[in-house]
Amino acid sequence: MLRKNNYIVIDVETTGLNSRKHEIIEFYGFGLYDDRELHIKIKPEKIENAEEEALAINHYHERVTAGEWRSAITAKEAAPLIAEFVKDAVLIGHYVQFDRRFLFELMRGPKLEISKRAICTKNLSIALLERFGLEKFDLSSVCNFLDIDLDLKLHHSAKHDALLCGEIYKKLAPLNPAIGLDLFMELTFDPNLI
């Protein structure tokens, strides 16, 4: 049986959308019911493969200029730290499938593993909020609908977005019985990752 302290909310920022071509440049995770947290900036090894649109969305160039990547570590150094942090946890993320694809790719080289259990707050939002008129389910739309403060200057930084995702989960989790446990499991746990 899962313990409450086995839930970790995560977010990654990347150099693009393709997990085989692009890289994680930032990881943030925190324990939903405890005070664990891990925030890592990762030096991209193939910045030339980056999609400029992705770097603009996550403000990478501005944040590097501001010194945020001064203490960045390599992907090889980051992988075991992240693997240990998320070990045996249920990962929670907004479109967590995206984050997990990149994490699986990061773990591939050193042959590390992460849990296959995950809850997607985007799918949970679709299941619970569409009936109330919400039509878009990106992070900012869901936050606006649930009256969760979104700082547009910090949006698309891993820490900010993970904290928002945690707030979404805390607001939606009590509504789970409204959709039935079987449907909740189908919509939140990604069977392709098992």
Cβ pair 25, 107 in contact under 8 A: no
Cβ pair 11, 93 in contact under 8 A: yes
Residue 153 has pLDDT above 80, yes or no: no
Residue 77's Cα: distance from chain center in Å?
A: 20
pLDDT given for residue 4 in this prediction: 58
Band of pLDDT at residue 180, cut at 50, 70 and 90? very low
Least confident of 14-23, 111-120, 178-187: 178-187
Residue 58 has pLDDT above 80, yes or no: yes
pTM of the model: 0.88
In which residue are the tokens 């547009």 written? Answer: 152
In which residue are the tokens 């446990």 written? Answer: 181
Report helix angle 96-108 to 75-86, nearest 10.
Answer: 120
The predicted model gives 80-104 an average pLDDT of 94
In which residue are the tokens 């943030």 written? Answer: 28
Beta bridge partners of 29: 10, 38
Beta bridge partners of 7: 90
Q: What is the DSSP string of 120-184?
A: EHHHHHHHHHGGGT----SHHHHHHHTT----TTTTTSHHHHHHHHHHHHHHHGGGGGGT-HHHH
Band of pLDDT at residue 117, cut at 50, 70 and 90? confident
Residue 68 has pLDDT above 90, yes or no: yes
- What percentage of the chain exceeds 90 in pLDDT? 66
List the one residue out of 182, 185, 148 whose CA is nearest residue 164. Answer: 148
Residue 156 has pLDDT above 90, yes or no: no
pLDDT given for residue 189 in this prediction: 52
Q: Hey, where are the domains in the chain?
A: 4-193
List the one residue out of 156, 189, 191, 164 whose CA is nearest residue 12. Answer: 156
Residue 2 has pLDDT above 60, yes or no: no
Q: What is the mean pLDDT of the chain?
A: 88
Task: Give domain 4-193's CATH architecture.
Answer: 2-Layer Sandwich (3.30)
58-67, 110-119, 177-186: which is most confident? 58-67
pLDDT given for residue 1 in this prediction: 44
pLDDT given for residue 182 in this prediction: 47
